[in-house]
Structure 1
Amino acid sequence: MTSLSSQSPDLKVLIVEDDPNVRLGCEQAIQLAGIPVEGVASAEAALPMIGQDFPGILITDMRLPGMNGLELLKNVILNDPALPVIMITGHGDVTLAVEAMRAGAYDFIPKPFSPEHLVEVVRRALEKRSLTLEVESLRRRLAHREAIEARLIGRSPQIEKVRRLLLDVADTAVDVLILGETGTGKEMVARCLHDLSSRHAANYVALNCGGLPDNLIDSELFGHEAGAFTGAQKRRIGKIEHANGGTLFLDEVESMPMAVQIKLLRVLQERVIERLGSNQLIPVACRVIAATKENLKDLSDKQRFRADLYYRLNVVTIDLPALRDRREDIPLLFEHFMLHAAQQHGRPLPEVSREQLQQLMAHDWPGNVRELRNAAECLVLGLRRDFGRASTAEPREQSLAEAVENFERSLIAAELRRQNGNLARSSEALRIPKTTLHDKIRKYGLQA
């Protein structure tokens, strides 16, 4: 039989027993079964070790010096009702055992007991605990997923890939580089990374590196002491120090001056800063998320961005797709933005005609999601009805085959959404055989 420790390596057993011989015997029996175990002599010693989602189970003797086993049970159950607690009772303590079960104990073992019986009860309790913790973890993950889907809207494979990666790295300490054209939602992704992490209660500090003169960005990032330069009348805490314990978001990081890049690299490597005009090293523990619309590797090759900083930032990269590369998301995004604009301005929700939808799907959207949001707001306000010639920017050059494929993909995606994924109704509306529609869905990576 496979040991439970090999199935759930993080789960352990905590034993509370004041008799050292009994405690040692229990520990040895459980260790021989391949299960991690730790023993303490009192309830007072055990309580600090048992927090919310304790990764294991508790075994306690009923009779202990100081706080007894029943009081310990009630304390831990109050904090974590799903924690399995096994009570060890003396011969004849039937009344206490019944009271313990009513108070929420998982099981009780009367003395004397065999090592085999102890291990059997422990295994069952650990299996229950493993399932409980797995379900809780899944619930949290689903809650995070729902939160992400409500903010990063779309059903395309490209945006689903972004959501999966975001979920994987959100609650880690790793620094992140976000790549994407203007308007693709880089700051939204940075905010999601912060909100879904254990740092969410701490500061989220954003700085646009391209929005400050070169002579101010140093002071903004690192702060300064009084008298550090002309006009510095008092000490100022910089953005990095203010983000300590939280998240620092650096947008348009490609605009950062070379001299400041060197100092930022030191922060990333050593996690310390020096305010301007000070020699004191200040430890900082913030996560750094950088965003850029440029290819930093190309810039570093041209010596316009430090290569060592690029490689230090490029640990985890989230590449945001342009809106033209996920056209099937346009109807859903546009509807979302119209709903928001209608609520914000107290206007009725307009209907989008088939002709307008075709214009939306065919437009190149050089401003990406930001441009689409502005178009939705204009439609709600009655300022715009035609989306065919909205942009004066030069469209991206496409071959005829690319243009036809993009348009076909957009129409199929829109029809699938209108028919709630029903292939039969969609193929009938599009006037193509069901098998042909199925092949095209696979070709374009769509979801029925």
Structure 2
Amino acid sequence: MTEPLEKTPVLIVDDDPSMRAALRQWIRLAGFGTLEVATADQAMAKLSPEFSGCVVSDVMLEGEDGVALLHRIAALDGDLPVVLITGHGDVPMAVEAMRAGAYDFVEKPFDPDHIAEVVRRACERRALVLENRSLKVRLADAAGLEGRLIGNSPAMQALRRQILHFAGTGASVLITGETGTGKEVIAQALHDFGACKDGPFVAINAAALPDAMVEAELFGHEAGAFTGADRQRKGRIEAADGGVLFLDEIVSMPLGLQPKLLRVLQEKKVDRIGGVKPVDVDIRLISAANVDPREAVKSGRLREDLLFRLNAIEIAVPPLRERGRDALLLFETFLNRFAVQYGLEVPETTAQDEAFLQTYAWPGNVRELRNAAERFVLSAGVGPRPLEALITGRRDEGIPASGGGLKDLMDTYERNLIESALRRHGGRITDVMRELNLPRRTLNEKMVRHGLSRDLAAADSGDS
């Protein structure tokens, strides 16, 4: 006889039905759930390293005795508490059991309150062991994730926490962010740190395929379904069975196919082109968009009911320009990687380069920065060039060619910072004031001193 195991479970092993009933009553009164079996084999079938409670077993069992069961449990998980019960007062057996790792040894007849207290302490110990194991896994995952999603900014720390939290849920995820922010890296991390990490990770870019090919790529086809279909072919959805399907640029999926994708998510079945019987699939869908999906719904590019299925969880990836000093850390990391890859020395960056790294808008985000680091490494051997000149192909007159005193470097940094903000906000002074936390008069004075104007970057100069 068992009960639902919302409560911490205690596995009772005894071949005497009356003793099992008595233990059940006492243990449940103490606030625990119970599982009950009569033999060692039946007990082992109920246990795993994830078992969250303890085992209470009689020593004298039919077939294998309780001490032999103790050894088998220790081989499965040496931290799983086992309480042994005997009515024979066998001191040598008790010594052997304790040496074999028994949590405690209780002789019959025993006080019900005593057995309840022993079980309580054993379960508390088990909870602590499992909590420590979980913490070690989370710490290892976090360390691994830091190597993939580099950055110490609050935005990146929050992003890594989200990924580790949502990875194990199995829910559909929609990742939004600008081009080059690393959305596929995040999708891969959700797979690798999730429950289906041993399953496949199948990625497809909906914008990279002609409309005529998207349906066949996603859903597959039967032989003879259309001209050229000389054999049956599984689609990407079937290929992802038991794992993750990553659909990049989901907004580019043809509207006519969106209801079919919605059906896959709702019914966990896929219809091949030309097929007569749906195929069962078990996938986790992760999708990505570099535009606002709600605007895509308003403009008729994305079905609203599909969006509701896609974004059970929504993760917004911050652009590089909003990540503070992360650009410096990423650039240094990429410099070292490319230097090793090409067998070259790691080039040194100047204060001017570092100022540019932090003030440039990086419209291509991490992808653009990575490319810049590769070019910086490769070009260093033929004569160093300022990073800004390497990326933009220009050098502003107000920027010293190299080195300079502290005042020159600070002026360069300040000028770049203001110019970058002006370009980013299209010359809208109010937005620049807000971003730089400067009063209007101070901002105007600095712009005059550095020869900057609000119409420097864009025709949109109508902001007050």
TM-score (norm 1): 0.86
Q: Is residue 181 of structure 2 the alignment partner of residue 152 of structure 1?
A: no
The letter of the residue matching 1:289 is I
Offset, 1:172: 1.2
Contact 2:376–2:387 (Cα < 8 Å) also in 1: no
Match of 1:282 among 279, 284, 287: 279
- Alignment check: 8 A CA contact 1:15 1:37 kept: yes
Separation of aligned partners in 1, 2:232 and 2:213: 15
Task: Identify which of 266, 270, 275 aligns with 1:273.
Answer: 270
Q: Which runs of 5+ in 1 are unaligned?
A: 1-7, 410-448
CA–CA separation in structure 2 for the residues paired with 1:194 and 1:330: 26
Residue 230 in structure 1 maps to residue 227 in structure 2? yes
1:11 correspondence with 2:8: yes
Alignment deviations for residues 47-79 of structure 1 (CA, whole Å, 9 cap, x no partner): 111011211101111110111111111111111
Residue among 352, 356, 359 paired with 1:355: 352
Q: Indicate the RMSD between aligned Cα atoms, in angstroms.
A: 1.9
Aligned 8 A contact 2:170 2:195 in 1? no
2:157 maps to 1:128: no
Q: Which amino acid in structure 1 is aligned with residue 16 of structure 2?
A: D
CA distance in 2 between partners of 1:298 and 1:284 (Å): 31
Give yes or no for contact 1:53–1:80 (8 Å, CA) kept in 2.
Answer: no
Q: Report the AA paired with residue 274 of structure 2.
A: G
Q: CA deviation at 1:382?
A: 2.0
Counterpart pick for 1:43 among 15, 33, 40: 40
Pick the aligned partner of 1:104 from 89, 101, 111. Answer: 101
The structure whose Rg is larger is: 2
The residue matched to 2:387 in structure 1 has which SS? coil
Mapped to 2, the partners of 1:401 and 1:101 lie a distance apart of 74
Which residue in 1 is equivalent to 2:426?
A: 397
Matches within 5 A, 1:36-435: 36-382=33-379, 385-389=385-389, 390-391=391-392, 395-397=424-426, 399=428, 403=432
Give the aligned partner of residue 427 of structure 1.
none
CA deviation map 1:182-234 (0-9, x unaligned): 00000000000000012111100000000100000100000001100000000
Q: Tell me what 1:413 maps to.
A: none
- Consecutive unaligned residues of structure 2, counting only runs of 5 or more, are 394-419, 439-464
Taking a change above 3 Å as real, the CA distance of residues 90 and 188 of structure 1, as seen in their structure-2 partners, is same
Q: Distance in 1 between matches of 2:330 and 2:122?
A: 47
What is the distance in 2 between the residues matched to 1:79 and 1:207?
A: 41
Question: Quick check: 1:356–1:385 contact (8 Å CA) kept in 2?
Answer: no
SS in 2 for 1:294: coil
- Indicate the SS of the match to 2:119: helix
Q: CA deviation at 1:373?
A: 0.6
Q: Deviations over 1:73-132 (max 9, x none)?
A: 111111101100111122321111111111111110011111011011111111101111
Q: Is contact 2:196-2:244 (8 Å) kept?
A: yes
| 8 Å CA contact retained: 1:47, 1:76 | yes
